[in-house]
């Protein structure tokens, strides 16, 4: 169950309402880097967590914290929309918030919510959960969470630098600090599970069953045969079990050969026999020779 006491996790105040900044804040709510994403990501990771209960509990606690961040940001959006112009006439007549409608305010803040936040990004695109990652592998999920917090912190820093409102800077400094902690806690969980030794993920698959010729080799695909070298192309592998190497990639398989299309599959008649396909291939090759 989830509970609330109706209070904000951290104070939210706006000294100079700015409807355009309200739109920017939407990215931190419903953008791919935003709080809806991480709240749902941690929640579904927790719902499916197997093994030690402490990982489920940690994830649920953090998911609940992120719900509080959504509330904070939604409050910030609403406060930034106070006194916003509700018509083009107000803007034209020199409203105190003049220019907000025509110069970047989200019309849906007027038309759809009555000056309140939306579960969408800064362009008004609703959050669709396509970036919620919950694999069932705790280590893989922890790495995904570090990435989520990193991009979220980058967004919060950009928002911090966009505003000169002291209240907004104070709120964002809190959110930036929490992103710092969350990065650290996910990395700490990875360390607790063995750090680099947890690699490769999933470590439950016997590594001797993979094609070891390709386990630690960096493959170059540049047409000029060059290879971007670095820590990933030489020296000890991160898991300490092998050495990195590098080579130019070469095709190891032939051209794919598919069976003719099924007669009942909706394809052209010429696709349903090998002789028909030979004619099609010949026609295509002839077209290429004439036009390339």
The predicted-structure confidence for 26-76, as pLDDT tens digits, reads as follows 999 999 999 999 999 999 999 999 999 999 999 999 999 999 999 999 999
Q: Which three-class secondary structure string do you get for 69-97?
A: HHHHHHHHHHHHHCCCCCCHHHHHCCCCC
Look up residue 21 and give its two tokens: 């900044």
Confidence of residue 152 (pLDDT cuts 50, 70, 90): very high
Q: What is the pLDDT of residues 233-255, one digit of tens each?
A: 999 999 989 999 999 999 999 99
Write down the pLDDT at residue 197. Answer: 85
Average pLDDT over residues 94-100: 52
What average pLDDT does this structure show over 191-207? 91
pLDDT bin (cut points 50, 70, 90) of residue 1 is confident
What is the pTM assigned to this prediction? 0.83
Band of residue 98 on the pLDDT scale cut at 50, 70, 90: low
What does the alpha-carbon distance between residue 123 and residue 145 come to, in Å, rounded to a whole number? Answer: 24
Q: What span, in angstroms and rounded, lies between the C-alpha atoms of 167 and 169?
A: 5
* CA nearest to 140, candidates 235, 40, 55, 214: 55
Q: Terminal CA-to-CA distance of the chain, rounded, Å?
A: 65
Q: What contacts 133, CB < 8 A, 6 or more positions away?
A: 41, 141, 144, 148
Q: Structure tokens of 90?
A: 């107000």
Query: Three-class SS of residue 224?
Result: coil
pLDDT band per the 50, 70, 90 thresholds, residue 110: confident
Give yes or no for a contact between 66 and 39, defined as CB atoms under 8 angstroms apart: yes
What confidence category does residue 2 fall into, taking pLDDT thresholds of 50, 70 and 90?
A: confident
Mean pLDDT of the 94-111 span: 67
Does the structure show a pLDDT above 60 at 22? Answer: yes
pLDDT over 90, % of the chain: 75
pLDDT of residue 104: 79
117-134 pLDDT, tens digit each: 999 999 999 999 999 999
CA distance 266 to 107: 46
CA–CA distance, 203 with 195 (Å, rounded to integer): 12
Taking the C-alpha atoms of residue 32 and residue 132, their distance in angstroms, rounded to an integer, is 9
CB atoms within 10 A of CB 175: 23
């Amino acid at each position: 169950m989830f509970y609330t006491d109706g209070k904000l996790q951290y104070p939210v105040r706006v000294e100079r309402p700015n409807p355009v900044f309200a739109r920017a804040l939407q990215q931190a709510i419903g953008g791919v880097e935003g709080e809806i994403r991480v709240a749902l990501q941690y929640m579904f990771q927790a719902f499916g967590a197997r093994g030690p209960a402490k990982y489920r509990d940690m994830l649920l606690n953090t998911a609940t914290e992120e719900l509080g961040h959504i509330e904070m940001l939604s409050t910030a959006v609403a406060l930034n929309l106070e006194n916003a112009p509700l018509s083009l006439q107000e803007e034209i007549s020199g409203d105190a918030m003049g220019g907000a409608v025509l110069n970047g305010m989200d019309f849906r803040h007027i038309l759809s919510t009555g000056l309140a936040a939306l579960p969408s990004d800064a362009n008004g695109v609703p959050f669709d959960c396509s970036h919620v990652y919950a694999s069932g592998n705790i280590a893989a999920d922890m790495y995904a969470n570090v990435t989520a917090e990193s991009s979220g912190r980058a967004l919060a820093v950009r928002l911090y630098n966009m505003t000169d409102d002291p209240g907004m800077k104070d709120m964002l400094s809190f959110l930036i600090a929490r992103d710092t902690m969350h990065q650290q806690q996910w990395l700490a969980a990875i360390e607790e599970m063995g750090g680099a030794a947890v690699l490769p993920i999933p470590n439950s698959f016997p590594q001797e069953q993979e094609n070891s010729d390709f386990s630690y080799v960096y493959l170059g695909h540049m047409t000029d045969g060059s290879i971007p070298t670095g820590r990933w192309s030489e020296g000890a592998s991160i898991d300490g079990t092998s050495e990195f190497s590098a080579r130019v990639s070469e095709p190891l398989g032939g051209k794919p050969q598919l069976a003719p299309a099924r007669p009942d599959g909706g394809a052209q008649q010429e696709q349903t026999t090998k002789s028909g396909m030979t004619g099609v291939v010949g026609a295509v090759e002839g077209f290429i020779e004439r036009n390339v």
